[in-house]
Amino acid sequence: MRKSILVYLSCLVFATYSAKPPKWSKNYSVSGSIHFPKASIVQPFQAWFDSKNKRVRVDYNDGTVKKFEFVNATGSYYYSLIPDYHRDGITQICIGTRKPMRKASVLLPNARDFQYEQTKRIKGVKCDGFGSKEVNEFYEKKVTLWVGYNRKSGEKIPYPVQFDTTLYYKESGGLRDHFFIDYSDYKTSDIPEDVFQIFDPKDCYETLHTRHKKLSPFDELPDPSAAHHIDLEFERFTRKYNVLYKNSREKMLRKDIFRDNLRYINSINKANLGYKLAVNHFADRTPDEIGILNQSNFQRDYLDARKFPEKFENLDNDAIPESFDWREHNAVGPVRDQGDCGSCYAFAVVGAVEGAYFLKTGKLVNLSVQALMDCSWMQRNRGCLGGTARGSYRWITRYGGIPTEEDYGPYLGIEDICRPISASKLIPITGYVRLPSNDKRALKVAIFKRGPIAVTIDTSPRSFQFYESGIYNDPSCRSGNDEQSHAALAVGYGELDGKKYWLIKNSWSDYWGMKGYMLMDASGNTCGILNTATYPEM
């Protein structure tokens, strides 16, 4: 019995001794993917770490975005090769910055202080798990590094399999965040020179050193929760948009939302989808909170709408220019902000009436969105709770017209008492036209011949909410007849890098998109833009 106990203890000591945290090679390459389950993000990457020469490179999405770090006696240099989207085309640009000298960053977790926890199979590989815990006043953080071993050479060479991080709110115990990195193709060898010699730093634009974390190749490796750039970006966000929170707890919760949105934005931008996202004033909001802005109610009954004139339907193609923008003719008013109010339908219809009035008189006036908010309840509009283009046109027709903002008053972002206006101060319409559904040519002709067109679109994808530039085409943007919940204004059309687009004016302020505008893909019925397009007649 005594002998058995000694054998057992010796085995236990051996097992504990053999399961030591891994030490990574000084030079290695590794591939893998970063997973953010809460945000439904999977970010593939390939990385090279050259400790001897103090160089790091990380490629995302098959090299769509390439990030570098070089360290020498004069400082630490960060470079990014990224796609750039703008109205003149899509190009790849290089931006860079320099910081005071520091050690080259590591890409794999430093497990020196991790403790052995257990052995189990991860992705079909027998792994040792090493972990640690961190607790502060707000949350508890648990990390686990899963390590496999290559024994083919007779040695026990560790290689990374997975790095898992889970955060819980300390007070409630609820899940705050969870993400993990899957690793593959870990190779320990010298890195070929050509890996780091694919661009000339002299060709790179220099950016502010305070934004170097955006350029750093390790901004999400090896531990996304420890990335200091999130703190910097959040503080920059709160300053830019003058955001104040009630207390530290609310600030923490908003920062968590911001972090998830920032991850999503970065992942989309690395995917080279033809459009770019950016942090804007929605970055600390949930999808449900942003959804308040989308209150253009679906309307099946457009029986009182006039038919699109045959003379336009039969218009010779040669009579229609390949591109057109009503802004260049001063027929479009300034971008406005509907605030936390579902009044998009009112902004879209008012924009269409302003355009029609310009075509008739050559004058651009600011008409009153607030009047539609206050006065069109009998036409089944509901102020900040939503409305329809049909209800808005019907009210303007029956009321005798719509007043100017100067005569009625400015937009308040909330419903108010309907104030009577003298008929002599109203801009009248005689009715409205609904375009044929799913007819790209009809929308193009209508924009050119009849001015800005009110359209209904789906804006539920997160990509729409953080759009900044490029031609937008997210397959998750719905195009079914009853799936549009937002109204906007189509003010032009054109072509960029061989791709046709609609020029859309939104009412989410000039912080959103291209100073309030979007280029929307015109190859199909993107976001349902062709379902319910209307314009007024005078």
Mean pLDDT of 496-501: 94
Measure the CA–CA gap between 151 and 158, rounded to whole angstroms.
9
Mean pLDDT of 253-258: 90
Q: What is the pLDDT of residue 301?
A: 65
Digit-coded pLDDT (tens) for 157-185? 999 999 999 988 877 778 878 889 999 99
Measure the CA–CA gap between 521 and 496, rounded to whole angstroms.
10
How many CB atoms are closer than 10 A to CB 324? 16
Helical H segments across 270-368, by residue range: 287-291, 310-313, 344-361
Active site residues: 344, 486, 506
| Residue that is written with structure tokens 């996304």 in the block | 224
Mean pLDDT of 252-271: 89
Q: Which of 2.30.30.140, 3.90.1300.10, 3.90.70.10, 3.30.750.200 would CATH assign to domain 287-537?
A: 3.90.70.10
Sequence-distant (≥ 6) Cβ neighbours of residue 369 within 8 angstroms: 336, 343, 346, 347, 350, 405, 411
Digit-coded pLDDT (tens) for 363-393? 999 999 999 999 999 999 999 989 999 999 9
In the predicted structure, residue 356 carries a pLDDT above the cut 70: yes
Overall pTM > 0.85: no
Positive or negative torsion for Cα 437, 438, 442, 443: positive
Confidence of residue 222 (pLDDT cuts 50, 70, 90): low
Confidence of residue 232 (pLDDT cuts 50, 70, 90): confident
Judge residue 428's burial from the number of C-beta atoms within 10 Å of its C-beta, 0-12 exposed, 13-18 middle, 19 or more buried. Answer: middle
In the predicted structure, residue 357 carries a pLDDT above the cut 70: yes
Confidence of residue 399 (pLDDT cuts 50, 70, 90): very high
The more confidently predicted of residues 214 and 403 is: 403
Torsions phi, psi for 280 (to 5 deg): -135, -165
Judge residue 318's burial from the number of C-beta atoms within 10 Å of its C-beta, 0-12 exposed, 13-18 middle, 19 or more buried. Answer: exposed
Confidence of residue 4 (pLDDT cuts 50, 70, 90): very low
Q: What is the pLDDT of residue 91?
A: 64
CA distances from 39 to 86, 177, 179, 205, 285 (A): 27, 10, 10, 32, 14
The more confidently predicted of residues 322 and 36 is: 322
In the predicted structure, residue 248 carries a pLDDT above the cut 60: yes
Mean pLDDT of 465-488: 92
Span of 85-99, 216-230, 298-312 with lowest mean pLDDT: 216-230
Mean pLDDT of 77-104: 69
Mean pLDDT of 445-454: 97
Residue 316 identity (one-letter amino acid)? D
Mean pLDDT of 1-5: 47
Q: What is the pLDDT of residue 210?
A: 42
CA distances from 244 to 125, 240, 249, 284, 501 (A): 48, 11, 12, 11, 38
In the predicted structure, residue 46 carries a pLDDT above the cut 60: yes
How many CB atoms are closer than 10 A to CB 201? 13
Domains of the chain by residue range: 27-103+189-276, 115-186, 287-537
Token representation of residue 402: 């719509």
Supply the angle between the helices 228-240 and 248-269 in degrees, to the nearest 10.
Answer: 110
Q: What is the pLDDT of residue 85?
A: 60
Q: What is the pLDDT of residue 297?
A: 62
The more confidently predicted of residues 53 and 213 is: 53
Q: What is the pLDDT of residue 10?
A: 42
Confidence of residue 16 (pLDDT cuts 50, 70, 90): very low
Q: What is the pLDDT of residue 509?
A: 95
Q: What is the pLDDT of residue 287?
A: 84
Question: In this prediction, what percent of the chain has a pLDDT beyond 90?
Answer: 56
Mean pLDDT of 288-300: 73
- Quote the DSSP letter at residue 395: H
